[in-house]
Amino acid sequence: MTRPTTELAHLFRQLKAPAAARALPKLADRARAEEWSFEQFAAVLLKTETDSRDSHGGQSRIKAARFPARKTIEEFDFAFQASIPKNTVLHLGQLDFLAGKENVVLLGPPGTGKTHLSIALGIRACLAGHRVLFRTATEWVAMLADAQRHGRLDTELDRLQRIPLLIVDEVGYIPFDPQAANLMFMLVSRRYERASLIVTSNKPFSAWGEIFADEITAAAMIDRLVHHAEILALKGDSYRLKDRDLARPPSTD
């Protein structure tokens, strides 16, 4: 490493740009060999640092989102789950719905890929620089109920509104009492046309009145949720059971 290169590496470390410092020797050799301009060399070197920071920031946002697993769109088995157009999911992966403050609703039986897709879109959002939070519907209600008990519900809803994407998983697996239904309605209502939601449910909208123990609250929630939304209806059997012969009795060995 030449003296100027060594000095530059030291300066980058002082500036807390370690990726640029690590890449400097090889990039300098390449720049000399290919006769890059000073501007081209500086641009490539600085992009190395910004890409590294984006990657680390994305991983931090993924950790903070509290996804239950790591899933990607590329891993999704569209051959097994043929009820939704692949192009639609790929378009959602471009995250235009976040810019438009729109929602995504995934409906279908258990095991059809709703949670997988919600996580995959959430991870895409994290890597693109957006803050995301993932919780089940019961966890969201518990969080809001705790805030309400401590007299800070409005503050908590304001805080959540500043997060570009919230994911509400498993609506319908456990019915809500009227208070819980009202808290979920407040979450949806506060984000209406202000920030995005991804919601998954194993129940059709026609059954949400039963889930929330109130037809009027359910109708008002659905109205706000779907007004600006992409709705995907997933069908078929559970992916988790696709390799199991359910007709065969369990082994007694």
Radius of gyration (C-alpha) of the chain in whole angstroms = 24
Are 128 and 221 contacting, i.e. CB atoms less than 8 angstroms apart?
Answer: no
Chain centre to alpha carbon of residue 38:
39
Give the distance, in angstroms, between the CA of residue 184 and the centroid of all CA atoms in the same chain.
19
Encode 75-114: b = buried (16+ Cβ within 10 Å), e = exposed.
ebeeeebeebeeeebeebbebebbeeebbbbbbbeebbbb
108: alpha, beta or left? (left if phi > 0; alpha if psi -120 to 50): left
8 A C-beta contact, residue 126 and residue 167: no
Name the token pair of 240: 């988790």
Report phi then psi at 44, rounded to 5: -65, -40
How far apart CA 217 and CA 223 sit, in angstroms, is 10
Long-range contacts of 214-220 (CB under 8 A, 24+ apart): 214/178, 214/181, 217/178, 217/181, 217/182, 217/185, 218/181, 220/185, 220/189
CA distances 27 to 24, 32, 40, 77, 106, Å, are 5, 9, 11, 40, 46
d(CA 202, CA 207): 10
Query: 241, 233, 230, 245: which is closest to 196 by C-alpha?
Result: 230
Query: SS3 of 91, please?
Result: helix
* pLDDT given at position 89: 96
**pLDDT tens-digit profile, the chain (253 residues):** 566 667 777 777 777 777 778 888 888 888 888 888 988 888 888 777 777 666 677 889 999 999 999 999 999 999 988 899 999 999 999 999 999 999 999 999 999 999 999 999 999 999 888 999 999 999 999 999 999 999 999 999 999 999 999 999 999 999 999 999 999 999 999 999 999 999 999 999 999 999 998 999 999 999 999 999 999 999 987 765 565 544 444 444 4
Write down the residue that tokens 């696709």 correspond to. Answer: 242
Q: Cα separation of 34 and 39, whole Å?
A: 13
